[in-house]
Structure 1
Amino acid sequence: MNDIPAFNRRGLLKLGGVGVTGMLLSPSVQAEAQGGPLPPPSPVDTGAVKDGKVTFQEWRGPSEAPSGNPKAPLPPEDRVGFAVVALGRLSLEEILPAFGETKNARLVALVSGSPEKMKTVAARYGIKPEACYDYEGFDAIKDNPAIKAVYVVTPNGLHRDFVERAAKAGKHVLCEKPMSVNSTEARAMLDACNVAGVKLMIAYRIQYEAFNLHLAEKVRTKAYGRLVGMSAINVQTVAENGAEQWRHKKALAGGGALPDIGLYCLNTARFLTGEEPVEIMATQYSPAGDPRFAEVEETVSFTLRFPSHTIVNCLTSYGARDDKHQRLNFERASVDMPNAYKYKGQSLTVIEREGDQTVQKTIDLSANNQFAAEIDHLADCILHDRKPRTPGEEGVQDHVLMEAIYRSAATGAPVRLDPVQGLDAFRGPPAKVDL
């Protein structure tokens, strides 16, 4: 023990401020060891409070992308309370976790037809037993003032029932896409919400996703010239026992690949251009004898022609390996976007001329949680009495167009549609998406 050297405070500081026991020296001891008090932090580091938000001066150089400021979530008691209806895969894997990233909304209630599952999920998310409702007792939400909005995540064929019951209870509604199983039911849902004086928003998450929003801005401003054409693919396979799943029952799904995943191609083409198609040509196929496709289609290919003469070719199928890709061909560039319709993993590549060279550029953007963004948007619309960007009218229009796709596929002839004047005819004001 006698050959262990003695350390004083200055000696410890030379070792990085850590003693032989691994203990970090306190700031006061370090200041003493350095021979004087430490300088106070500057405003660049401490930031300032402005309009109830903490802001910081930019610390990066002009060649760097700005770091931005911290998000400013509302206090929990000021957020809009949501009840989520149905606890299937989408709710458990994406929607419920997304409330952890919202800043205007909070989860306050659950609705499910599976008592044991609801009890388990409620415990994980801190939902009290009195805020858990079964399907039959759903109407009792009218007596829960904490619930301001309802997110309907049931199979498509059940959307109408829960949307209309939520409206009757005086609650605003966020409804998963597709809005329903046909345009007649979709219009009835819209009418019910209008009569009740509640907002109806359809969960078109792509319209709140950072990369697609960036791309829409480029299309609208003609940053690369006129959009000449676009190809959109959304395909995936289903298990051999898929016939038992609700998506393969026409009464519950309304159709097969088209309303489930092909709708992303259709709605995104409309969203990116802001236009409505004036002509549709389509074909479809289902393998004979496959019970998965006894009631609904496997594959649909359709072409949309827009007033600006942009041509969009779309393919959707339950028979091809997962691929969710879109490519846009402009006058002066082509833009490639893998994973365009996935929950995450989007990227953007632009190919264009630069000087005498053809260059390929990757657009680096900060991804956002699409579900949190759409939930927050409805919450913001409720708080400030605004019309949602993707209201019920947007959902009705997609049903009208999908019915035209099916008609064209059945007859082999193109379906011509009445022109719709202006851009974003069925949408509300642009969303304030926190990117």
Structure 2
Amino acid sequence: MNTRRDFLQKITYSVMALPFLPSTWQFDLASSDNKPYDGPVLRVAIMGLGGYGTRVAEAMQSCKKAKLAGVISGTPAKIKDWQSKYQIPKKNCYNYENFDTLKDNPDIDAVYVITPNALHHDQVIRAAKAGKHVICEKPMGLNAKEGEEMVRACEEANVKLLVGYRMHFEPNTLEVVRMRQHGDFGKILFFQGQCGFRIGDPNQWRLDKTLAGGGALMDIGIYAINGARYMVGEEPIWVTAQETKTDAVKFKEGVDETILFQLGFPSGAVASCLSTYNMNHLDRFFLNGEKGFAEMQPSTGYGPIVGRTHKGKLTQPHITHQTLQMEEMASIILEGKEAIIPVDGKEGLKDLKIIDAIYQSCKTGDKLTLNL
């Protein structure tokens, strides 16, 4: 079955006010060397043991600051397999009906929600009420209303809510952000984000509006939405969008096949982006400024990320994205570290507001004002 995960294998909050990164970004990754680590460890229960949950679990085996400590699944056979493979105690294994009892388990600090989009809202809120920090895959929810409720629930429970924006920790991505902040590109004029692949199995959950909340935009287009924000370094103030559908049988009502959308920023910079489930070989970011440019292709795949600027090739080291993400998120949760590009729930909420506006613009044809 072709999924976003298969595709990626093959091929913000404004950061303008953040301090410049050093000329060569130094990663604080405990697993990047052989030094012994005796600091705090984030003990994580993964909810949703599918393809991406498996990828995260495997990547965590290389972490020093984060550890796979539990599982939550609706499939008993998967729980049994993971128990054996990762030596997970039975008391740390839950299903979707009983995971509220996590509140009585001191061996788990956080829950990583990796389930279909429509389940995120309720599962994140339940995990927060159980007193656990939450990491949620993107999109954080189905719409901004859900996102606001999720952020509020975690604030009320005094737990952190983070979103699985792995690209916010990716070395070449951060190098482009550093260059932009340093003025290497001059005034930013234009961003282009192309995200797409030809989706396979027509019966998969990603083509079911009740589970996915939409289509390509929710699944792959969010990379262009989020990427436009951290590459330009501003929050968009308007959006226009157009939808094209060539197969109304495969892409039923409410499930978008292809959407073109445009964003405008306070400085006058504009973004032109494409999100599709009907074209392969689309994983490209391009940033243009008065003094230079940055191009990345692939730009959001599992890596290595390949890119160049007007100064030459991007040469930052490739580190497994999920390993780096979990190490850095452990530092955020346990040590109060701040991410260069935020990954908190409010960051996820901003993307949901843009998604809502894109869908609305597709229906009305209107240019809509954004207030993030």
Supply the distance in 2 between the matched residues of 1:399 and 1:73 (Cα, whole angstroms). Answer: 40
Structure-to-structure mapping, 1:3-402, within 5 angstroms = 70=33, 72=35, 74-75=37-38, 78-92=40-54, 94-239=55-200, 241-242=201-202, 244-351=203-310, 361-385=312-336, 389-402=342-355
Q: For 2:310, what is the secondary structure of its paired residue?
A: strand
Following superposition, the deviation at residue 348 of structure 1 comes to 1.6
Supply the distance in 1 between the matched residues of 2:206 and 2:290 (Cα, whole angstroms). Answer: 40
Q: Which residue of 2 aligns with 1:48?
A: none
Describe the superposition over 1:108-153 as per-residue Cα deviations: whole angstroms up to 9, x where unpaired: 0011111111111221111122211111111121121110011000
TM-score (norm 2): 0.87
Following superposition, the deviation at residue 312 of structure 1 comes to 0.9
Supply the distance in 1 between the matched residues of 2:45 and 2:194 (Cα, whole angstroms). Answer: 33
Q: For 1:287, what is the secondary structure of its paired residue?
A: coil
CA RMSD, 1 decimal: 2.1
Q: Is the 8 A contact 1:99 1:105 kept in 2?
A: yes
Supply the distance in 1 between the matched residues of 2:325 and 2:248 (Cα, whole angstroms). Answer: 40
Change (3 A) 1:67 1:308: closer
Supply the distance in 1 between the matched residues of 2:67 and 2:36 (Cα, whole angstroms). Answer: 11
Following superposition, the deviation at residue 297 of structure 1 comes to 0.6
Following superposition, the deviation at residue 387 of structure 1 comes to 6.2
Q: Is the 8 A contact 1:248 1:295 kept in 2?
A: no
Supply the distance in 2 between the matched residues of 1:179 and 1:297 (Cα, whole angstroms). Answer: 18
Supply the distance in 2 between the matched residues of 1:150 and 1:335 (Cα, whole angstroms). Answer: 36
Q: Is the 8 A contact 1:220 1:273 kept in 2?
A: no
Supply the distance in 1 between the matched residues of 2:26 and 2:58 (Cα, whole angstroms). Answer: 28
TM-score (norm 1): 0.75
Q: Is the 8 A contact 1:109 1:147 kept in 2?
A: yes
Supply the distance in 1 between the matched residues of 2:106 and 2:247 (Cα, whole angstroms). Answer: 52
Q: Which residue of 1 aligns with 2:3?
A: none
Q: Which residue of 1 aligns with 2:16?
A: none
Following superposition, the deviation at residue 386 of structure 1 comes to 5.1
Q: Which has the bigger relative contact order, CA under 8 A and spacing at least 6? A: 2
Q: Is the 8 A contact 1:280 1:303 kept in 2?
A: yes
Change (3 A) 1:66 1:325: closer
Describe the superposition over 1:65-105 as per-residue Cα deviations: whole angstroms up to 9, x where unpaired: 99998354634x8311000001011111x201110222211
Aligned-partner residue type, residue 220 of structure 2: I
- Structure 1, unaligned runs of 5 or more: 1-64, 353-360, 421-435
Identical-residue share of aligned pairs (%): 34
Describe the superposition over 1:344-402 as per-residue Cα deviations: whole angstroms up to 9, x where unpaired: 121121236xxxxxxxx222110122212222222112222456631111111111111
Supply the distance in 1 between the matched residues of 2:231 and 2:248 (Cα, whole angstroms). Answer: 38
Q: For 1:195, what is the secondary structure of its paired residue?
A: helix
Q: Is the 8 A contact 1:220 1:272 kept in 2?
A: no
